[in-house]
């Protein structure tokens, strides 16, 4: 892929989104960085000096925000990376209507709608759609129920549009990182030990993601035990029920998510 191609990344102001942008720049791509907060987008942009960077402060969950993103993108787009997401952790009975709606809208509905809106630009370039999911989109985890559901949905959406858009020569890559050390980590820090959660740095996730994107892969999972567990989940889900169910019953885990 040459240096003139353009990548649009949502949620590019911090965490995985910022790391994806830095790795894209290192690979010679021009960038359109979208997110809700202009100051953090500018921070990401200021880290990059080798390629053209455009920032667009827009809320991808709203029609107006998506329209602003489409307008900033123009007629042609080579790669769309749906990365923006949100997370609330806890026992399902303690998760509010607003928290559930926010996760479903941000993690699943918004990527579907933005992908739809940018299809003309992606069709012109015979481009690629990249959806940032999660290992929790295969292995449904306790206390992450709604989040897992949104990532299962995003994985299903990825598979469906890969097949639907094959006649237009648009590729689709689904990226499933494990837990990542970002600002969201504070929401589940107390669960890391009882649930035996392995953490990756954002730059590690970004490098693995871009390796899969550049190779045109259909999906990418982290190296290590999670990749093995994904295979077990697909073949023998009852075994995962026993293992993960035991973790969920751990008093430390229950205490970590109990309202204070």
Q: pLDDT (tens digit, 9 = 90+) per residue, 86-97?
A: 999 999 999 999
Is it the case that residue 166 has pLDDT exceeding 50?
yes
**Is the pLDDT higher at 251 or at 128?**
128
**Is the pLDDT higher at 223 or at 58?**
58
**Is the pLDDT higher at 210 or at 186?**
210
The model's pTM = 0.92
Average pLDDT estimate for 82-105: 96
Neighbours of 66 (CB within 10 A): 21
CB 38 within 8 A of CB 199: no
Q: How far is CA 190 from the centre of its chain?
A: 22
Domains belonging to the chain, first-starting first, are 6-257 (3.40.50.720)
Is it the case that residue 2 has pLDDT exceeding 80?
no
Choose the catalytic residue: 147, 152, 188, 229. 147
Is the C-alpha dihedral spanning 130, 221, 230, 142 positive or negative?
negative
Q: Going by C-beta distance under 8 Å and a sequence separation of 6 or more, which residues neighbour residue 237? A: none
**Is the pLDDT higher at 62 or at 191?**
62
pLDDT band for 84, please (50, 70, 90 cuts). very high
How far lies 175's CA from each of 38, 48, 78, 246, in Å? 26, 24, 17, 28
Whether 147 is a known active-site residue: answer yes
């Amino acid at each position: 892929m040459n240096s003139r191609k353009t990548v649009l990344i949502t949620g590019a102001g911090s965490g995985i989104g910022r790391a994806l942008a830095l790795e894209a720049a290192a690979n010679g791509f021009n960038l359109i960085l979208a997110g809700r907060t202009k100051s953090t987008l500018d921070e990401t942009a200021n880290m990059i000096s080798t390629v053209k960077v455009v920032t667009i402060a827009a809320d991808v969950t709203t029609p107006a925000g998506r329209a602003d993103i489409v307008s900033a993108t123009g007629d042609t787009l080579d790669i769309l990376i749906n990365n923006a997401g949100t997370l609330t952790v806890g026992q399902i009975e303690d998760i509010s209507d607003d928290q559930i709606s926010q996760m479903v809208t941000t993690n699943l509905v918004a990527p579907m709608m933005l992908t739809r809106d940018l299809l003309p630009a992606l069709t012109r370039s015979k481009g690629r759609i990249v959806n940032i999911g999660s290992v929790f989109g295969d292995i449904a985890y306790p206390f992450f129920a709604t989040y897992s559901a949104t990532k299962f949905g995003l994985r299903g959406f990825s598979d469906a549009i890969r097949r639907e858009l094959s006649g237009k020569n648009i590729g689709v890559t689904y990226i499933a990182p494990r837990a990542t050390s970002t600002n969201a980590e504070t929401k589940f820090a107390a669960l890391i030990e009882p649930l035996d959660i392995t953490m990756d740095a954002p730059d590690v996730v970004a490098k693995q993601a871009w390796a899969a994107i550049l190779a045109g892969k259909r999906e990418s999972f982290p190296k290590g035990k999670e990749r093995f567990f994904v295979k077990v989940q697909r073949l023998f889900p009852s075994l995962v029920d026993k293992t993960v169910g035991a973790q969920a019953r751990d008093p430390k885990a229950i205490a970590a998510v109990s309202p204070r």
